[in-house]
Amino acid sequence: MTKKKLLNKTTNSFLAYAVAILLVAAPIFYFISLWLYIYETDEVLLFHKGAFVKETRGNFSENDIAAWNKYNRDVEIVPDTGVTKDSIVGKMMYDAIAKEEEPFRVLYAPVSINGKRFTYVEKTNLVEMEGMVFSIAVMFLCIIIILLIGIIYISKALAAKIWKPFYNTLDQIRDFEIDKNRPPNFADTDIDEFDRLNRSLERLIEKNTAIYKSQREFVENAAHELQTPLALFQAKIDTLSQSAALTKEQSEIVGALNSDVARLNRLNKNLLMLSKIDNDSYFDKQDVNVAEYIGRHLDFFEQQARSKHISITTALDKEIFVSANPILFEVLVNNLFLNAIRHNVQNGNIKVATLANGICFTNTGAGRPLNDEKLFNRFSKSDPSAQGNGLGLAIVKKIAELNSWDINYDFSGNEHSFTINF
């Protein structure tokens, strides 16, 4: 569905309303002007007839009628036609000057001259009237159009100025990130509604930022506090596992406990890692040779892959360098490698290749694509029974965001690929 700006929507509604009113008003104005002109024309005809009767009452004879008719083009005295009262009609009549039929208003009125009845006939051409009314209608239309354009321009310019603080607020909310410790700085405005909106958003952001910081501190503190008891727990289990008095069943239980404690240790370390990344603890950067680093640690990953008989192949360009914190880069590569091993299949393969400005990890695995929406979420697992804690890819995503790198996932030919573009 196409989204519309509020300003354009209101302006379009106003424009549609104005055009509709204009289309209705223009013909109404024309016909009202036409009616008024005809009405005034009829009044003039009746006035002329009244003046004729008054002026010819005592000194006008039948002999003067011929001369009158000869020298008056639009007024004629004719024998009685049976008209008993003043009557005005509209007719199309031939005009000798224009040499074509034109609209006229014609008055037929009974008059008495020296005691004898005659009919007074006067006509007036309406062509000039129609041209005048049309010109007035066009002028009216032009004035309305100019007024309409002016109103739209002024309303848009004024609305853009009025709504500027609102769009400023939208831009700052869009760019706001709660973990960056940079609260938005809303522009001052004298519009009450926008000012109330800004104050409400400031309180909401302040409250949620405080909650976020509290939760982050809790995770970090909890992870730190768990380190000591976990280390003691691990040491006691190691001591217990070396006891010769353990039965086979007890040894299996101790082994299971040892695996669970190892998972807890990994989880605790990952939570600490995320907390430190959130707190910008890894700000030191240096140039890292990608191929050299992977080659130096490749033996370790091959050992991890032997249990599943996974083959690892590399295509590394020794000239690819990346500016990064060495610790975070090590964590990123380790997590991508271990993720490719953990979610692989027996006798699978892993391919690691450097790109023009990035690195790609491709591995065989489940014959279906992973859920893109939850792939990098914390504690998200494609397989709930998997041994991982669901933080590996979340940490990779966090490291990529911290360095402004792009990370992309792709599934093709039953192979899963994770690409980091530096």
For the segment 184-193, what is each residue's pLDDT rounded down to a tens digit?
888 888 888 8
Q: How far apart are the first and last CA of the chain?
A: 35
Would you give the DSSP letter of residue 188? Answer: P
Total tally of structural domains belonging to the chain:
3
**Whether the Cβ atoms of residue 240 and residue 254 lie closer than 8 Å to each other:** yes
Q: Do residue 310 and residue 391 come from a single domain?
A: yes
Asked if residue 191 is part of any domain, the answer here is yes
Residue 338 φ then ψ, to 5°: -65, -35
For the segment 9-21, what is each residue's pLDDT rounded down to a tens digit?
667 777 777 778 7
- Domain-ending residue, one of 239, 263, 281: 281
What pLDDT, on the 0 to 100 scale, is given for residue 372? 74
Q: Which residues contact 232 (CB under 8 A, 6 or more apart)?
A: none
The encoded tokens of residue 7 equal 């300003």
Q: Do residue 258 and residue 382 come from a single domain?
A: no
Q: What are the angstrom distances between the C-alpha of 276 and each of 122, 222, 280? A: 105, 13, 6
Q: Do residue 310 and residue 412 come from a single domain?
A: yes
Under-50 pLDDT residues of the chain: 384-385, 389
- Domain-ending residue, one of 158, 187, 216: 158
CB burial of 242-280 (b: ≥16 within 10 Å; e: otherwise) equals: eeeeeeeeeeeebeebbeebeebbebbbbbbbbbebbee
Asked if residue 110 is part of any domain, the answer here is yes
The encoded tokens of residue 341 equal 């091993």
The encoded tokens of residue 353 equal 């290749």
The encoded tokens of residue 69 equal 């008719």
The encoded tokens of residue 116 equal 């004898």
Residue type, 357: N
d(CA 358, CA 314): 14
What pLDDT, on the 0 to 100 scale, is given for residue 385? 47
Asked if residue 163 is part of any domain, the answer here is no
Residue type, 290: V
- Domain-ending residue, one of 266, 281, 296: 281
Residue type, 103: P
Pick from 415, 270, 408, 389: nearest CA to 380: 389
Q: What is the DSSP string of 85-128?
A: S-EEEEEEEEETTTTEEEEEEEEEEEEEETTEEEEEEEEEE-HH
Would you give the DSSP letter of residue 413? Answer: T
How many beta carbons lie within 10 A of that of residue 404, not counting itself? 7
CATH number of the domain encompassing residue 392: 3.30.565.10
Range of the domain at 196: 175-281
CATH number of the domain encompassing residue 70: 3.30.450
Q: Does the model's pTM come out above 0.85? A: no
